[in-house]
Amino acid sequence: MARRCIILLMVIFCCATSNAQKDSIRIAFYNCENYFDSFRDSSINDAEYTPDGARRWTYSRFLAKRNSIFKVFASMSNPNPPEVIGLCEVENRFVLNQLCYETPLSKFEYAVVHQNSSDVRGIDVALIYQKNRLRLLNYRCFNPNVLDTSLRTRSILYSQFKWGEFDTLHVFVNHFPSKLGGERSNRSRMLVARLLKSKVDSILSKNQSASIVITGDFNDLPQSDALNVLNDSLLVNLAAPLAKEGRGSIKFDGTWELIDQFIVSRGLINGDTPVMIKGCQTIYSAPFMLEDDLDNGGQKPRRTFKGYRYNGGYSDHLPVFIELLRTL
């Protein structure tokens, strides 16, 4: 039944028109939860995601994971999937190419922005974008371990786009260090936040009206010390109001937490730029992405594994997105 549902979704998706509004784009972010291929890479710690590893990660399971991620983005179509998608917990360019070019997403001419990071497990941040809608001008990866050589974590991925004839869009994709490790991990998140803030300030010092979008899995709440580093008069955290309502993108010990967030330059809100935010940050879910939470009640994201038992799900996170409008 599930297989037939995926096939039907693919057919509908391929038949959809691609006449998206030229004056609006959506930017999404999704923590894919361990999107690994099934091949051993001796340069990283990926042994458990191999056929002989602890998770018995076969090529068929990899393909199922790839198709699950596609299914999430296909279900977000309005009528097309988001024009820009930030990703984290992806192993390498191979898995990104598989997603963009070996699923019906290929219809939308996505291009990949990715660079291997120094993360011990080899899980990276990445970005895919529809190259017929935006033009990539430049990209860079900023490595936190330059400031602290003991910190082997994900890079900050910066991409600069041209949208239309005049509008420049700056996008930062992040995956901050996890909360494992207590106070040391908090210091690590603070370090990454300060590095991110310095790069954003560098842009704003030249143009206070610059169109900047910061997104990612920050492994912390909007009111945390690390996120407060990014709290100033020129930046707005779009997740903060939703977090105050108790809404979230991940469920931890029965409580929803909003750690997948969008932070934008104030010019995108007050109309100082030719580009504006439409509405607020959206937490996206579809019924197939959720399952019953038998321990705490309600529902929770349907993840790929429950412990080491294969669950065939999607991710322990829900995707988030924003919509931008071009006003000129």
> Which residues are CB-neighbours of 223 under 8 A, at least 6 positions away?
240, 243
Of 17-26, 213-222, 252-261, the one with minimum mean pLDDT is 17-26
Q: Does pLDDT of 16 surpass 60?
A: no
Contact (CB, 8 A) for 178 and 192: no
Q: How confident is the model at residue 17 (pLDDT cuts 50, 70, 90)?
A: very low
Average pLDDT of the residues in 290-312? 97
**What does the pLDDT look like over 49-64, one tens digit per residue?**
999 999 999 999 999 9
Q: Does pLDDT of 210 surpass 60?
A: yes
> Which residues are CB-neighbours of 154 under 8 A, at least 6 positions away?
88, 117, 119, 123, 124, 125, 174, 175, 176
> Which residues are CB-neighbours of 313 under 8 A, at least 6 positions away?
68, 289, 291, 301, 302, 303, 304
Contact (CB, 8 A) for 229 and 193: yes
For residues 15 and 287, the model is more confident at: 287
The pLDDT value given to residue 328? 73
The Cα 110–Cα 120 span in angstroms is 28
Highest average pLDDT, of 10-19, 110-119, 163-172, comes from 110-119
Q: Does pLDDT of 69 surpass 80?
A: yes
Q: Does pLDDT of 216 surpass 90?
A: yes
DSSP secondary structure string for all residues of 210-260: -EEEEEEE-SS-TTSHHHHTT-STTEEETTHHHHHTT--SEEETTEEE--E
The Cα 155–Cα 137 span in angstroms is 19
Largest pairwise CA distance in the chain: 56
Considering the chain, what percentage of its residues have pLDDT values greater than 90? 81
pTM of the model: 0.92
CATH pick for 22-326 out of 3.40.50.720, 1.20.1260.10, 3.40.50.300, 3.60.10.10: 3.60.10.10
**What does the pLDDT look like over 132-175, one tens digit per residue?**
999 999 999 999 876 666 678 899 999 999 998 767 999 999 99
Average pLDDT of the residues in 85-111? 98
The Cα 279–Cα 52 span in angstroms is 47
For residues 147 and 260, the model is more confident at: 260
Q: How confident is the model at residue 18 (pLDDT cuts 50, 70, 90)?
A: very low
Question: Treating both helix axes as pointing N-terminal to C-terminal, what angle do 59-75 and 2-15 enclose, rounded to 10 degrees?
Answer: 50
The Cα 97–Cα 102 span in angstroms is 7
The Cα 61–Cα 64 span in angstroms is 5
Q: What are phi and psi of 316, to 5 degrees?
A: -85, 0
Average pLDDT score over the chain: 91
**How long a stretch of residues is the chain?**
328
Q: Does pLDDT of 255 surpass 90?
A: yes
**Cα dihedral sign, 59-65-69-75:** positive
The Cα 252–Cα 257 span in angstroms is 7
Q: How confident is the model at residue 67 (pLDDT cuts 50, 70, 90)?
A: very high
